[in-house]
Amino acid sequence: MSTVPERSELADEHTWALESIFESDEAWADHFETVSGRIEELTAYEGRVTESSETLLELLELREEIMREVSQLGVYANLRASEDTRDQEYQALSGKAQALSSEASSAVSYIEPELQELTEADIEEYVDEVPELAAYDQFFDDVLRAKPHTRSAEVEELLAELGEVTSSPSDIYSMLANADMTFPTVEDPDGEEIEISQGNFTKLLKHEDRSFRKQVHEQYYDEWENVRNTVGTSLKKQIRKDVKVARARNYETAREAALDGPNVPTEVYDTLVDTVHENLDLLHRHAELKGDALGVDELQPWDLYMSLTGEEGPDIEYEQAKDWIVEAVEPLGDAYQQRMAEGLESRWVDVYENRGKRSGAFSSGTYDTQPFILMNYQDDIASMFTLAHELGHSMHSELAQEAQPWHDAGYEIFVAEVASTVNETLLTHHLLETVDDDELRLHVLDEYLERFRSTLFRQTMFAEFEQQIHERAENDEPLTPDVFDELYGDLKGAYYEPAAVDDHIQREWQRIPHFYYNFYVYQYATGISAAVAIVEGILEDGQTGGDGAAAYREMLRAGGSVYPIEALDIAGLDMTSPDPIESALSVYGDYLDRVDELR
DSSP string, 430-489: HHHHH---HHHHHHHHHHHHHHHIIIIIHHHHHHHHHHHHHHHHHTT----HHHHHHHHH
Tell me the average pLDDT across 177-196. Answer: 93
What value, to the nearest 5°, has the Cα angle with vertex 581 and ends 576 and 586? 150
**What average pLDDT score do residues 399-422 get?**
95
For the chain, give the mean pLDDT: 94
pLDDT of residue 6: 94
Query: For residues 528 and 530, what is the distance between their CA atoms, to the nearest angstrom?
Result: 5
- Please count the other Cβ atoms lying within 10 Å of the Cβ belonging to residue 254: 25
Cβ atoms 262, 563 nearer than 8 A: yes
Q: Is the per-residue pLDDT at 575 higher than 90? A: no
For 477-533, what is each residue's pLDDT tens digit? 999 999 999 999 999 999 998 899 999 999 999 999 999 999 999 999 999 999 998
Residues acting as catalytic residues: 390
User: Is residue 226 within 8 Å of residue 205, measured between CB atoms?
Assistant: no
> Which neighbouring-strand residues pair with 2?
194
State the amino acid at position 317 in one-letter form. E
Name which of 383, 379, 403 is nearest 556 in CA terms.
Answer: 403
Does residue 72 carry a pLDDT above 90?
yes
pLDDT (tens digit per residue) in 528-570: 999 998 998 899 887 777 899 999 999 999 999 999 999 999 9
The pLDDT score that the predictor gives to residue 447 is 87
**What are the C-alpha distances in Å from 592 to residues 291, 510, 587?**
14, 31, 9
* Cα torsion 243, 249, 252, 253: sign: negative
The arithmetic mean of pLDDT across residues 340-360, rounded, is: 95
Residue 351, φ and ψ in degrees, nearest 5: -80, -55
Mean pLDDT of 164-193: 91
Mean pLDDT of 20-35: 98
DSSP 312: P
Task: Label residue 166 by pLDDT band (50, 70, 90).
Answer: confident
The string of DSSP codes covering 93-139 is HHHHHHHHHHHHHHHTTTHHHHHTTS-HHHHHHHHHH-GGGGGGHHH
- pLDDT-derived band at 163 (thresholds 50, 70, 90) equals confident
- Round to whole Å and give the CA distance between 544 and 541: 8
Percent of the chain with pLDDT over 70: 99
Can you tell me the distance from the alpha carbon of 280 to that of 461, in angstroms, rounded to the nearest whole number?
11
Tens-place pLDDT, residues 245-285: 999 999 999 999 999 999 999 999 999 999 999 999 999 99
One-letter amino acid at 484 equals: F
| Amino acid found at 10 | L
Which fold is adopted by the domain 7-166? Butyryl-CoA Dehydrogenase, subunit A; domain 3 (1.20.140)
H-state helical runs in 475-546: 481-495, 522-541
Task: Kindly list the strands in the beta sheet with 362-364, ordered across the sheet, starting from the edge strand earlier in the chain.
Answer: 349-352, 372-377, 362-364
From the centroid of its chain, how far is CA 315? Answer: 26
Residue 1 pLDDT greater than 90, yes or no:
no
Average pLDDT over residues 146-172: 85
523: amino acid identity, one letter: Q
Nearest-5° Cα angle at 173, 169 to 177:
175
User: 203 versus 286: which is more confidently predicted?
Assistant: 286
Tell me the percentage of the chain whose pLDDT exceeds 90. Answer: 83
Distance of alpha carbon 529 from alpha carbon 580, whole angstroms: 5
Instruction: State the pLDDT confidence band at 84, using cuts at 50, 70 and 90.
Output: very high
Which residues, 6+ apart, have CB-to-CB distance to 558 below 8 Å? 400, 403, 404, 411, 567, 570
pLDDT of 2: 62
Of the candidates 311, 523, 290, 281, the one whose C-alpha atom is nearest the C-alpha of residue 420 is: 523
pLDDT at 310: 62
Res 263: pLDDT: 96
Residue 96 scores a pLDDT above 60: yes
Decide: 158 and 102 in contact? Cβ < 8 Å. Answer: no
Smallest CA-to-CA distance from 28 within 99, 76, 86, 65 is with 76
Q: Residue 195's beta-bridge partner residues?
A: 185
Query: 301-330: per-residue pLDDT in tens?
Result: 999 988 887 667 889 999 999 999 999 999
Mean pLDDT across 199-214:
91
Q: How far is CA 553 from CA 19, 233, 336, 547, 572, in A?
A: 30, 43, 9, 10, 12
Taking the C-alpha atoms of residue 338 and residue 146, their distance in angstroms, rounded to an integer, is: 40
Name the band, by pLDDT with cuts 50, 70 and 90, for residue 159: confident
3-class SS at 185?
Answer: strand
Taken as a whole, the chain contains a residue count of 599
In our burial notation (b when 16+ CB lie closer than 10 A, e otherwise), range 304-333 reads bbbbbbbebbeebebeebbebbbebbebbb
**Could you tell me whether strands 372-377 and 362-364 are parallel, antiparallel, or unpaired per DSSP bridges?**
antiparallel
